[in-house]
Amino acid sequence: MYRIAIVGAGAAAALHARAIQELDNAMLCAVCDSLPEAAERFANTWSCAPYTSPDELIRQEKPDVAILSVPVFLHGEYAERFAASGVHVLCEKPIEMDAERALRLIRARDEGGVKMMIGHVVRFWPGYAEIRDMMDRGELGDILSAVFSRASQVPARGGWILDPERGRGAIQDMLIHDTDFLHYLFGNVASVYTLAAKDDTGCYDHVTANLRFENGTIATALASFTLKDNAYPFTTRYRICGTKATLEYSYRAAVLDIQAGPQAEWFICRKGGQPEPLKIPQRNAYAAQLSYFLDCIREDRAPVLGSLESARESIRILDMIRASAESGEIVREN
């Protein structure tokens, strides 16, 4: 049984607590948050011990794994603290604020001799995780284009997300999900061109990034916080066009009044054929992600999905996207 501590008791923490409950080989022992009331509230909800000091938590609880769900600019600092005490770390996305700061986690992992992984959960998401296998089996043929998007209200959670310096709005909080996934599907990026808008606080709230990959694939990723003050639910979509098939997915997180509950649709349209619905697997992606990480620890192998090196490449791509948004120019790989 792995003893797990969650660090940062905000929105992402609850997703991880639910995931831990689904696994037979994991138990939530403690939560740590710098705000005592946040730690207490979370501990009461999820039946674990509250702490405000990570060092005290480590001393008292001796966790095997820490899940870091603190704001991004704290990822490196906390990863160092836990790794130095021999605690394995599953850290939320993105790895850090930029590629340079991401090196801190890589050093902490190597010096601490622990396993460390970044929770790029889309790699485990039902309807997304399967794409790589479909591509490997040749079902889609050569990929000609891909369009991925996600949109939500401006998050009510932590004000840091909208801070132009520390949270960087929709680019760092939302776009990273799809650009990391595109990097996972198509490899290294050759160039990017971004169009992005800022809200009146100076924070990006809408971004479209066009990416050309070294393998020739062209893809677009769109992320938006512009669903203002209305009932339109969190929505994600993609369409991948290959020489053999077009694959499309769309998901709405909540009721659109006309129907109850979340709505998802996934289908493939094979060359010469009609659209065929695909069955979206039922699984909790956060539980699948944690289960994968615990398997890596048990079998003493490095996590490949969400490796620090690939997460660092993803944040480097994000750096290129931001540079293009700022300059209005195409940014090419050096």
Ligand X SMILES: NC(=O)c1ccc[n+]([C@@H]2O[C@H](COP(=O)([O-])OP(=O)(O)OC[C@H]3O[C@@H](n4cnc5c(N)ncnc54)[C@H](O)[C@@H]3O)[C@@H](O)[C@H]2O)c1
Binding region for ligand X (CB under 6 A) = 8-13, 15, 32-35, 38, 69-72, 74, 92-93, 119, 121, 157-158, 173
Query: 247 vs 311, which CB is nearer to ligand X?
Result: 311
Sheet of 275-277, strand order: 275-277, 263-270, 245-252, 235-242, 143-151, 218-224, 204-213, 189-198, 331-332
Nearest approach in angstroms of CB 42 to ligand X is 8
Q: How far is the CB of 1 from ligand X (least distance, A)?
A: 24
CB of 246 to ligand X, least distance (A): 27
Q: Supply 229's token pair.
A: 């003050």
Phi/psi for 251 (5° steps) reads -140, 135
**123 or 212: CB nearest ligand X:** 123
Q: How far is the CB of 198 from ligand X (least distance, A)?
A: 19
| CA–CA gap between residue 96 and residue 315 (Å, rounded) | 8
Residue closer to ligand X, measured from CB, 141 or 233: 233
CB closer to ligand X out of 6 and 219: 6
Residue 168 gets the label, from left (phi > 0), alpha (psi -120 to 50) or beta, of left
Per-residue CA distances from 177 to 19, 120, 158, 269 (Å):
19, 7, 18, 25
Alpha carbons 165 and 234: distance in angstroms, whole number = 25
The SS3 assignment for 81 reads: helix
Residue 30: CB minimum distance to ligand X, A: 12
Q: What share of the chain is helix, strand, coil (3-state, %, to 5)?
A: 40, 30, 35
The tokens for 33 are 């948050």
Q: Which is nearer to ligand X, 8 or 76 (CB)?
A: 8
Task: Kindly state the smallest distance separating residue 119's Cβ from ligand X, in Å.
Answer: 6
When the beta carbons of 34 and 246 are compared against ligand X, the nearer one is: 34
* Helices of type H across the chain: 11-22, 36-46, 54-61, 75-84, 99-112, 129-136, 169-170, 176-186, 285-298, 308-327
Contact 234, 252 (CB under 8 A): yes
Give the nearest distance from C-beta 194 to ligand X in angstroms. 20
Nearest position to ligand X, beta carbon:
10
Distances (CA, A) of 292 to 30, 114, 239, 310: 21, 15, 27, 16
- Taking the least distance from each CB to ligand X, the nearer of 38 and 240 is 38
> Given the complex with ligand X, which of 38 and 219 has the nearer CB atom?
38
Least distance in angstroms from the C-beta of 233 to ligand X:
15
